């Protein structure tokens, strides 16, 4: 709008435009006269005559040239007069159109005010000022409206009006300059007083806001006794809001010692609670991985490892700054992780336990079968070695202890077989000895060589390593 106001010519601009046209016309006239003079001079030199020898014909020719130049000058004067009249007519038409537009805009502004439409009234008045920036009545009418509605006027609107007045001073009639300058000074003074009042209100509002915020921290929405519910649950979003409030207060209060204490405590709570929630969510995922069929042991193991790492970070927090409820939640995580790890170890040990159970059942079946002791003892010994390999895959301590008892019972089966074989072998060895002596007596061998041959035939079948020490000495 300001740019448009600058583009509207006033009376002085029109006078300057007419003056420029006259200057151009006079310049053209001078150029024509000079051209005619040069033409006459050329003719004069061509005939090489002095003024005394000029004929009457030549004098007539010169008179005719002068007359022609006079007519040209007169014609230019007439054209310039017509041009000035046209410019004046256009200017008058523009003035009349602007006056009509201003009158219409002022009327529309009054109608808008009657409807209490202040915003539309401002637009109409600014439109009137744009059409006639030299019209001081429009300026005073707009100022009157601004003063009446000053509470709803923004700083930007007041600044806009101030700029309008700065331009209007160069466009209004000289007799109006002092009035508009006074109006401009009044607007600037009003804007300054308004800024001072706004600053004072802001200062009061700031103090009230600080007071209210401190109440919120100590007894209001963000007090610790209200942040922690009966189930020791804390809303992390509220803790985050409390943290933002502490940071905001630290930058505005004069004594920040209390705020710093609250800030440190809030940071500790926010950090601890955030990490606790992460670990709790991780443990839930681990529990879900163990609950499916078949259990996803790899995923559960990864989740448990992540939870253990998170728990180590939780203990880096200064728990002297946090409520006891949060410390208890952190402590409970230890038991929760231990419980899930035990369940994980049990599930991980199940395949090995099943193999061990099957192997023990095979040992019992072998022991109940008849036949020679040695093949059965050998088979059971191999099975017990397989059980030893499976025991190394059992990671749960309780399960390991339970299967140690089962292995002991399986080992007892082997020992029973070895003992029975031992007793039976002792009896067989003694019988062999008896049979040897019986044969010796039956044949009545009198030579030592013959007797030894008979006895050795029976004793050679006996393995001394399988005999008891007394029997071995007898042999």
Q: Which residues pair with 228 in a beta bridge?
A: 234
Q: What is the DSSP annotation of 140-159?
A: HHHHHHHHHTGGG--HHHHH
Question: What distance in Å separates the CA atoms of residue 55 and residue 67, rounded to the nearest whole number?
Answer: 19
Q: Helices then strands (H, E): number in the chain?
A: 16, 0
DSSP letter assigned to residue 323: -
Cβ(380)–Cβ(413) below 8 Å: yes
Q: Would you tell me the crossing angle of helices 118-131 and 56-114 to the nearest 10 degrees? A: 170
Q: How confident is the model at residue 2 (pLDDT cuts 50, 70, 90)?
A: very low
| Predicted pLDDT at 89 | 54
Question: What distance in Å separates the CA atoms of residue 152 and residue 118, rounded to the nearest whole number?
Answer: 9
Per-residue CA distances from 52 to 39, 40, 42, 56 (Å):
20, 17, 18, 11
Q: How confident is the model at residue 34 (pLDDT cuts 50, 70, 90)?
A: low
Q: How confident is the model at residue 444 (pLDDT cuts 50, 70, 90)?
A: low
Q: Is it the case that residue 146 has pLDDT exceeding 70?
A: yes
Preceding omega of 325 cis (within 30 degrees of 0): no
- Which residue reads 């014909």 in tokens? 57
Residue 263 contacts by C-beta under 8 Å, 6 or more apart in sequence?
Answer: 243, 246, 247, 250
| Predicted pLDDT at 49 | 47
Q: How far is CA 309 from the centre of its chain?
A: 25
| Predicted pLDDT at 80 | 66
| Predicted pLDDT at 358 | 93
| Predicted pLDDT at 59 | 54
Rounded percentage of the chain residues whose pLDDT exceeds 70:
66
The string of pLDDT tens digits covering residues 352-362 is 999 999 999 99
| Predicted pLDDT at 90 | 53
The string of pLDDT tens digits covering residues 372-386 is 888 888 888 899 899
Residue 315 contacts by C-beta under 8 Å, 6 or more apart in sequence?
Answer: 330
| Predicted pLDDT at 186 | 84
Q: Would you tell me the crossing angle of helices 136-148 and 118-131 to the nearest 10 degrees? A: 160
User: In 3D, which of 145, 14, 27 has the Cα closest to residue 83?
Assistant: 14
Q: How confident is the model at residue 445 (pLDDT cuts 50, 70, 90)?
A: low
Tokens found for residue 180: 């508009």
Q: Is it the case that residue 474 has pLDDT exceeding 60?
A: no
Q: Is it the case that residue 5 has pLDDT exceeding 50?
A: no
User: In 3D, which of 309, 270, 304 has the Cα closest to residue 284?
Assistant: 304
The Cβ of residue 137 has, within 10 Å, a number of other Cβ atoms equal to 12
Per-chain mean pLDDT for the chain: 75
Q: Is it the case that residue 289 has pLDDT exceeding 90?
A: yes
Report, as an integer, the average pLDDT of 203-218. 70
User: Which pTM does this prediction carry?
Assistant: 0.48
Cβ(318)–Cβ(304) below 8 Å: no
Q: How confident is the model at residue 6 (pLDDT cuts 50, 70, 90)?
A: very low
Q: Is it the case that residue 395 has pLDDT exceeding 70?
A: yes
Q: Which residues pair with 234 in a beta bridge?
A: 228
Cβ(321)–Cβ(225) below 8 Å: no
Rg (CA), the chain: 61
Q: How many CA atoms lie within 13 A of 148 on its CB side?
A: 13
Report, as an integer, the average pLDDT of 240-248. 82
More confident residue, 129 or 475: 129
Q: Is 463 helix (H, G, I), strand (E, B) or coil?
A: coil
Cβ(231)–Cβ(218) below 8 Å: no
Question: What distance in Å separates the CA atoms of residue 194 and residue 101, rounded to the nearest whole number?
Answer: 34
Report, as an integer, the average pLDDT of 162-186. 80
Query: 234: part of which helix (H) or strand (E)?
Result: none
DSSP letter assigned to residue 371: S
What are the phi and psi torsion angles at 234 (to 5°)?
A: -125, 135
Can you say whether residue 228 is alpha, beta or left, with left for phi > 0 and alpha for psi between -120 and 50 degrees? beta
Question: What distance in Å separates the CA atoms of residue 98 and residue 91, rounded to the nearest whole number?
Answer: 10
Q: Is it the case that residue 286 has pLDDT exceeding 90?
A: yes
């Amino acid at each position: 709008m300001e740019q448009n106001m600058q583009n509207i010519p006033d009376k002085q601009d029109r006078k300057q435009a007419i003056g420029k046209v006259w200057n151009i016309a006079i310049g053209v006239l001078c150029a024509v006269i000079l051209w005619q003079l040069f033409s006459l001079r050329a003719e004069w030199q061509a005939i090489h005559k002095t003024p005394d020898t000029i004929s009457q014909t030549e004098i007539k020719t010169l008179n005719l040239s002068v007359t022609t130049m006079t007519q040209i000058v007169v014609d230019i004067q007439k054209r310039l007069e017509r041009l000035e009249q046209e410019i004046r007519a256009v200017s008058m038409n523009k003035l009349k159109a602007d006056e009509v537009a201003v009158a219409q805009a002022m009327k529309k502004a009054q109608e808008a005010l009657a409807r209490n439409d202040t915003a539309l009234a401002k637009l109409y008045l600014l439109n009137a000022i744009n059409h006639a920036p030299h019209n001081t009545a429009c300026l005073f009418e707009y100022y009157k409206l601004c003063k009446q509605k000053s509470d709803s006027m923004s700083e930007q609107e007041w600044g806009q009006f101030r700029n309008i007045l700065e331009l209007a001073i160069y466009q209004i009639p000289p007799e109006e300059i002092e009035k508009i300058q006074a109006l401009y000074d009044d607007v600037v003074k009003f804007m300054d007083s308004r800024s001072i009042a706004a600053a004072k209100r802001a200062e009061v509002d700031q103090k009230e806001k600080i007071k209210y915020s401190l109440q919120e921290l100590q007894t209001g929405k963000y007090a610790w006794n209200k942040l922690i519910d009966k189930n020791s649950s804390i809303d992390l979003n509220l803790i985050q809001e409390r943290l933002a409030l502490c940071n905001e207060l630290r930058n505005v209060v004069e004594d920040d010692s209390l705020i710093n204490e609250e800030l440190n405590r809030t940071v500790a709570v926010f950090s601890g609670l955030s990490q606790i929630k992460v670990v709790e969510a991780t443990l839930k995922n681990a529990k879900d991985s163990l609950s499916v069929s078949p259990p996803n042991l790899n995923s559960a193991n990864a989740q448990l490892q992540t939870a253990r790492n998170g728990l180590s970070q939780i203990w880096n927090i200064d728990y002297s700054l946090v409520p006891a409820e949060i410390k208890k939640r952190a402590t409970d995580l230890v038991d929760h992780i231990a419980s899930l790890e035990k369940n994980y170890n049990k599930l991980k040990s199940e395949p090995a336990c099943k193999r061990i159970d099957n192997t023990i059942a095979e040992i019992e079946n072998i022991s109940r079968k008849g036949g020679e002791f040695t093949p059965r003892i050998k088979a059971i010994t191999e099975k017990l070695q397989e059980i030893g390999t499976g025991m190394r895959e059992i990671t749960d301590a309780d399960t390991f202890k339970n299967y140690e008892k089962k292995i002991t019972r399986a080992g007892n089966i082997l020992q029973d077989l070895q003992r029975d074989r031992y007793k039976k072998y002792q009896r067989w060895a003694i019988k062999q000895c008896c049979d040897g002596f019986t044969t010796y007596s039956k044949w009545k061998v009198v030579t030592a060589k013959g007797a030894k041959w008979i006895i050795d035939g029976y004793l050679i079948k006996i393995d001394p390593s399988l005999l008891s020490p007394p029997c071995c000495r007898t042999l």
